[in-house]
Amino acid sequence: MKSFKTLSVLILGLSSISKADVIKCNFTEPFINTTYSMAQQTLKIESAGEPTRTIKNVSFQIKGPGLFELQDKNKKVLQSLTLNNNGSDGMSDKVYPFEVTFAELKNMANSGLGGCESNFLKGTEQPEK
Protein backbone atom coordinates (compact mmCIF):
# COMPACT_ATOMS: atom_id res chain seq x y z
CA MET A 1 0.00 0.00 0.00
CA LYS A 2 2.88 2.36 0.81
CA SER A 3 4.35 1.77 -2.66
CA PHE A 4 1.01 2.62 -4.27
CA LYS A 5 0.77 5.86 -2.27
CA THR A 6 4.35 6.82 -3.20
CA LEU A 7 3.67 6.03 -6.86
CA SER A 8 0.47 8.09 -6.78
CA VAL A 9 2.30 11.11 -5.33
CA LEU A 10 5.04 10.73 -7.95
CA ILE A 11 2.56 10.53 -10.82
CA LEU A 12 0.58 13.50 -9.50
CA GLY A 13 3.74 15.51 -9.06
CA LEU A 14 5.17 14.64 -12.47
CA SER A 15 1.94 15.24 -14.35
CA SER A 16 1.46 18.60 -12.65
CA ILE A 17 5.06 19.68 -13.07
CA SER A 18 5.40 18.47 -16.65
CA LYS A 19 2.77 21.05 -17.62
CA ALA A 20 4.17 23.82 -15.41
CA ASP A 21 5.74 26.41 -17.66
CA VAL A 22 6.32 28.82 -14.79
CA ILE A 23 6.89 28.32 -11.07
CA LYS A 24 6.56 31.42 -8.88
CA CYS A 25 7.90 31.46 -5.32
CA ASN A 26 7.43 33.99 -2.53
CA PHE A 27 9.61 34.59 0.52
CA THR A 28 9.54 37.00 3.46
CA GLU A 29 12.41 38.41 5.48
CA PRO A 30 13.75 39.28 3.02
CA PHE A 31 10.85 39.97 0.70
CA ILE A 32 11.90 38.21 -2.49
CA ASN A 33 9.95 36.68 -5.37
CA THR A 34 11.42 34.24 -7.85
CA THR A 35 10.03 33.09 -11.17
CA TYR A 36 11.35 30.00 -12.93
CA SER A 37 10.56 29.53 -16.61
CA MET A 38 10.95 25.97 -17.84
CA ALA A 39 10.78 27.07 -21.47
CA GLN A 40 13.50 29.72 -21.07
CA GLN A 41 15.42 27.87 -18.34
CA THR A 42 15.78 31.09 -16.36
CA LEU A 43 15.32 32.01 -12.71
CA LYS A 44 14.31 35.64 -12.22
CA ILE A 45 14.90 37.07 -8.72
CA GLU A 46 13.01 40.21 -7.67
CA SER A 47 13.68 42.01 -4.41
CA ALA A 48 12.23 45.32 -3.22
CA GLY A 49 14.60 48.18 -3.89
CA GLU A 50 17.10 46.10 -5.85
CA PRO A 51 17.55 45.47 -9.55
CA THR A 52 15.97 42.27 -10.90
CA ARG A 53 18.51 39.49 -11.49
CA THR A 54 18.11 36.69 -14.00
CA ILE A 55 20.09 33.46 -13.84
CA LYS A 56 20.25 31.64 -17.18
CA ASN A 57 20.74 27.94 -17.94
CA VAL A 58 18.81 26.77 -14.88
CA SER A 59 17.62 23.17 -15.09
CA PHE A 60 14.65 21.53 -13.40
CA GLN A 61 15.63 18.21 -11.82
CA ILE A 62 13.27 15.53 -10.52
CA LYS A 63 14.93 14.07 -7.42
CA GLY A 64 12.19 11.72 -6.21
CA PRO A 65 8.45 11.55 -5.50
CA GLY A 66 7.39 15.17 -5.07
CA LEU A 67 11.02 16.37 -4.75
CA PHE A 68 12.54 18.78 -7.27
CA GLU A 69 15.56 21.03 -7.62
CA LEU A 70 16.49 24.04 -9.68
CA GLN A 71 20.19 23.82 -10.54
CA ASP A 72 22.49 26.30 -12.26
CA LYS A 73 24.74 25.30 -15.16
CA ASN A 74 27.39 24.09 -12.66
CA LYS A 75 24.83 21.80 -10.95
CA LYS A 76 24.70 24.05 -7.87
CA VAL A 77 21.29 23.74 -6.19
CA LEU A 78 19.53 27.11 -6.23
CA GLN A 79 16.13 26.00 -4.92
CA SER A 80 14.74 22.74 -3.53
CA LEU A 81 10.99 22.23 -3.94
CA THR A 82 8.71 19.73 -2.24
CA LEU A 83 5.19 19.13 -3.53
CA ASN A 84 3.42 18.73 -0.19
CA ASN A 85 0.66 21.41 -0.18
CA ASN A 86 2.38 22.97 2.83
CA GLY A 87 4.29 25.91 1.36
CA SER A 88 4.12 29.29 3.06
CA ASP A 89 5.48 32.72 2.25
CA GLY A 90 5.84 33.22 6.00
CA MET A 91 3.39 36.07 6.24
CA SER A 92 0.06 35.57 4.50
CA ASP A 93 -2.68 32.99 5.04
CA LYS A 94 -2.01 31.53 1.59
CA VAL A 95 -0.97 27.87 1.44
CA TYR A 96 1.15 26.96 -1.57
CA PRO A 97 1.38 23.56 -3.29
CA PHE A 98 5.18 23.66 -3.05
CA GLU A 99 7.36 24.25 -0.04
CA VAL A 100 10.67 25.71 -1.18
CA THR A 101 14.11 26.35 0.24
CA PHE A 102 16.16 29.02 -1.53
CA ALA A 103 19.86 28.31 -0.89
CA GLU A 104 20.77 31.99 -1.29
CA LEU A 105 18.52 32.88 1.67
CA LYS A 106 19.39 30.05 4.07
CA ASN A 107 21.11 32.41 6.55
CA MET A 108 18.21 34.88 6.61
CA ALA A 109 15.43 35.20 9.22
CA ASN A 110 13.14 32.58 7.65
CA SER A 111 16.03 30.21 6.72
CA GLY A 112 15.24 30.54 3.02
CA LEU A 113 11.82 28.89 3.34
CA GLY A 114 8.95 29.96 1.12
CA GLY A 115 6.00 28.84 -0.94
CA CYS A 116 5.56 28.28 -4.67
CA GLU A 117 2.77 27.81 -7.15
CA SER A 118 2.78 26.95 -10.84
CA ASN A 119 0.55 27.65 -13.81
CA PHE A 120 -1.49 24.57 -12.95
CA LEU A 121 -1.09 24.25 -9.17
CA LYS A 122 -2.26 27.40 -7.42
CA GLY A 123 -2.04 28.35 -3.76
CA THR A 124 -5.21 28.74 -1.71
CA GLU A 125 -6.20 31.37 0.82
CA GLN A 126 -6.99 29.84 4.19
CA PRO A 127 -9.73 31.32 6.36
CA GLU A 128 -8.62 33.07 9.53
CA LYS A 129 -8.92 30.97 12.66
Expressed in percent and rounded to 5, the helix, strand and coil fractions of the chain are 15, 45, 35
**67 pLDDT above the threshold of 60:** yes
What does the pLDDT look like over 7-57, one tens digit per residue? Answer: 444 444 444 455 558 999 999 888 999 999 999 999 999 998 899 999 999
| Structural domains in the chain, sorted by start | 2-125 (2.40.128)
Q: CA–CA separation, 114 vs 89, rounded Å?
A: 5
Buried/exposed 55-85: b ≥16 CB within 10 Å, e otherwise = beebebeeeebbbbbbbeeeeeebbbbbbee
Strands 59-64 and 53-56: unpaired
